Amino acid sequence: MQTNFSVEESVSNLWNKLDGWLESIILKLPNIAMAVLVMFLFYFLARGIRKVLKRTVLRKISQVSIQEIIAKVVFVVIILIGFFIALGVLDLDKVLTSILAGAGVVGLAVGLALQGTLSNTFGGLILSFMPQLKINDFISADGVSGFVTEISLRNIILKKPDNNVVVIPNSKFIDGSFTNYSMNKRNRIFVNCGVGYESDLQMVEDLTVKVIADNFKQNDDEDVEFFFTEFGDSSINFMVRFWADCVNVKQEHAARHKAIKIIKKRFDERDINIPFPIRTLDFGKNNLQIAKE
């Protein structure tokens, strides 16, 4: 049986449906306004609670990265609560159920597609709660040294001594090793030098240990240590190591700089020679003749 298509009837049905939608929207306008108001209220509530937490409770946490992570989580949770309440105001409870049901499937697909990003995110969480790493620490990682300025859910940001910024992905940082110069306030400084073969080695040792101990205070469990290390080509080389206050590479360089200057000054006062490499040319076996024109 063939049914005749009527344009007028189709237009009428379409108009009736649009009219029904318009009527529903008009009837829902108070709910829409209330839902928007709820979202605005919860947004400002989330900002306020985050600010209060930072000024009170989170200030007791020493690591700034942990403070930021907790503040962001609290902010997102409050926004989500406001979103669910807004859906309830709009009588979209069934939609909410469908969203939650589909979230699992979507989350699985997104997780597979964004494995690297999620790895960085979990790495950021681990770094934020790692006691061996804090904001403003001076570290060396992946061949780069600098101050930690930010630990986010994606990367860690270092500011190098030359003021350039280096961004290291969290996953790469977690998988590698790093050196934290700021964990201990006291660090050991190494200075290498050499003296001439004619030198009194015992006097060199006693003088070096004394000059370092006089200029760098050593605590009860710390000592200035001196070791001759090798017979060099033109000198007998030694190493002296001592403790100093330093939490970054600059302070380490400054301590070594000071030690080298005072060692050189005392050696000059005692006429102790710090030789430089010397090459002796022996022309005895080959009679060198200079031809004159």
User: Per the domain annotation, does 234 fall within a domain?
Assistant: yes
Which segments of 175-216 are extended strands (E)? 178-180, 186-195
Region 20-43 average pLDDT: 75
| The two three-digit tokens of residue 199, written as one number | 């030198």
CB-based contact 142:173 (threshold 8 Å):
yes
The domain spanning residue 45 has which CATH number? 1.10.287.1260
What residue numbers bound the domain in which 143 lies? Answer: 137-180
What pLDDT sits at residue 249? Answer: 83
For 6-25, how does the pLDDT look when each residue is reduced to its tens digit (9 = 90+)?
Answer: 666 666 666 666 666 666 66
- Say how many domains are in the chain: 3
For 70-118, how does the pLDDT look when each residue is reduced to its tens digit (9 = 90+)?
Answer: 777 788 888 888 888 877 777 766 666 666 666 665 555 555 444 555 5
Same domain, 82 and 26: yes
Please spell the DSSP secondary structure of 100-151, one letter per residue: HHHHHHHHHHHHHHTHHHHHHHHHHHHHHT-TT--TT-EEEETTEEEEEEEE
User: Per the domain annotation, does 289 fall within a domain?
Assistant: no
The domain spanning residue 172 has which CATH number? 2.30.30.60
Of all residues in the chain, the percent with pLDDT exceeding 90 is: 24
Pick from 43-47, 168-172, 225-229 the range whose average pLDDT is largest.
225-229
Same domain, 257 and 154: no
* Phi, psi for residue 237 in degrees, rounded to 5: -90, 145
| Tally of residues, the chain | 293
Same domain, 122 and 150: no
Rounded Cα–Cα distance for residues 131 and 147 (Å): 16
User: Per the domain annotation, does 293 fall within a domain?
Assistant: no
Q: What mean pLDDT, rounded, does the chain reach?
A: 78
Residue type, 91: D
Region 185-190 average pLDDT: 90
Same domain, 37 and 122: yes
User: Per the domain annotation, does 97 fall within a domain?
Assistant: yes
Same domain, 26 and 66: yes
- To the question of pTM greater than 0.75 for the whole model, the response is no
